[in-house]
Amino acid sequence: MAHILFKEKKVKTAVKYLFLTGYFLTFSANAALKVFACEPEWADLAKTIGGKHVMVTQATTARQDPHQIEARPTLLASARKADILVCTGAELEDGWLPLIQQKVNNPKILPGQPGHFMAANFIKLLDVPREIDRIHGDIHAQGNPHIQLDPQNYIVIAKALSQRLEQLDPIHAHTYRENALAFINEWEKAIQQWTVQAEILKGMPVVTYHHSWVYLNNWLGLKQIATLEPKPGIPPSAAHLNEILNQVKNQNIKAILCSPYESQEAAKWLSKKINAPIVMLPFTVGGTENTKDLKSLFDVTIEKLTIAAQ
C-alpha cells in the first residue's frame, strides 16, 4: 500500500511540475503527445517509442532536401499544436525551422525547453570544421549533421528520446521505457547482422555527390575518394568534374552514391566516364519504396552496397 502511495505521489509531483512550467497536458485514456518530427527517421523512431501515446507529424520526406523546405501552412498548424519537436539539430534545419518557431509562437518547442529535442546533441559529431567561413560552402559549425546513417547512433538517441517523452508524459512513462528497451534489444541484433553482411564493403572506393555519407562511411569502412560538389551546397562545374575524373579514373570506383533528392546529372556524366554504377541509397525512411521503417532503411542500404561491391 505504501509503495502504491509513493508511486502516486511521484506522478502527482511530476504533473504539478509540468503545470507550473507551462507544460501541463490534459491526460486521458486517449490523450496523445503531439510530436513534430523534422525528418522521417525521427518520425519513425518517435512512433516506435511512443506507440499509441503519440501523434506524429512528419515535416519532410526522403525526396526533400532537409536543409531547405517551405514553411507550409500545414506545417505551421502542426508546429503550433506540438508538445515536442524532434529534429536532427546541428544546424541541419536552420534554413527553415527557426522561421516556423517564430511564426507559431509555441513556447513548448523553443530551445531550452523539454519540448525541444535535437538528436545531434546526444551524438559525437564527425567532420567538425576547423575554420568557419562561408568561403568553404554550406558547412555546419557543430559538425556533419547526417547522423541518421550510422545505426549505432539510434541506441543513444532512443534512450534520450524515451526519457524526454517520460518527462513530458509521466503517466505513460513505463510504456515509453518498455518500448525503447524492446527497440534497442532488436536494434543491437540487427546491427550485428548488418556488420557481418557488410564485411565485403570495408575499403570499397566510392564517390559521393554531397558530403552527407560520412557516418555511413565511418561505420562500414567505405573509402570516399571524391565528392562531386566542389564545396557543400555548390553544384559541380564542368571544370570541377574534369578534375574529379582525373582524380578517380584509376581508383577502381565501385559506386557513385546519391540520395533521392539530389540531381544525378553530374553522377551520370562521371558514371559513363569511369564505368561505375550510380547507387541511389534511400538516405532515410521512405527513400525507396521498400524502406518503410528504420530497419528496412539499413537492410536496403547494405543490400545495394554489397551488390555494387560484387
Q: What is the DSSP string of 26-78?
A: ---TT--EEEEESSHHHHHHHHHHHGGGEEEEE---TTS-TT-----HHHHHH
pLDDT beneath 50: ranges in the chain: 1-29, 136-137
**Strand partners of residue 116:** 85
Distance of alpha carbon 18 from alpha carbon 266, whole angstroms: 52
φ and ψ at residue 55, rounded to 5 degrees: -125, 115
Residues 6+ apart with CB under 8 A from 292: 285, 286
Domain end (from 192, 227, 257): 192
Domain end (from 192, 220, 251): 192
Distance of alpha carbon 55 from alpha carbon 43, whole angstroms: 10
The predicted structure's pLDDT at residue 17 = 41
* CB atoms closer than 10 angstroms to residue 30: 7
The predicted structure's pLDDT at residue 5 = 42
φ and ψ at residue 280, rounded to 5 degrees: -85, 105
Q: Are 9 and 40 members of one domain?
A: yes
Distance of alpha carbon 240 from alpha carbon 220, whole angstroms: 28
Q: Are 262 and 144 members of one domain?
A: no
The predicted structure's pLDDT at residue 141 = 83
The predicted structure's pLDDT at residue 27 = 43
Domain of residue 65, residue span: 2-192
The predicted structure's pLDDT at residue 224 = 97
* CB atoms closer than 10 angstroms to residue 272: 9
Answer for the pair 37, 164: CB distance below 8 angstroms, yes or no.
Answer: no
Helix count and strand count (H, E) for the chain: 10, 8
The predicted structure's pLDDT at residue 140 = 64
The predicted structure's pLDDT at residue 139 = 64
Per-residue pLDDT tens digits for 178-203? 999 999 999 999 999 999 999 999 99
List the strands of the sheet with 205-208, edge to edge: 223-227, 205-208, 255-258, 278-280
Answer for the pair 83, 168: CB distance below 8 angstroms, yes or no.
Answer: yes
The predicted structure's pLDDT at residue 128 = 86
Answer for the pair 249, 271: CB distance below 8 angstroms, yes or no.
Answer: no
**Strand partners of residue 224:** 206
What are 274's three cell numbers? 569511369
Number of domains in the chain: 2
Q: Are 215 and 142 members of one domain?
A: no
By CB atoms closer than 10 A (0-12, 13-18, 19+), residue 205 is middle
Q: Are 16 and 138 members of one domain?
A: yes
Q: Are 210 and 298 members of one domain?
A: yes
Q: Are 104 and 61 members of one domain?
A: yes
The predicted structure's pLDDT at residue 232 = 83
CATH number at residue 160: 3.40.50.1980
Q: Are 188 and 199 members of one domain?
A: no
Q: Are 144 and 20 members of one domain?
A: yes
Q: Are 258 and 290 members of one domain?
A: yes
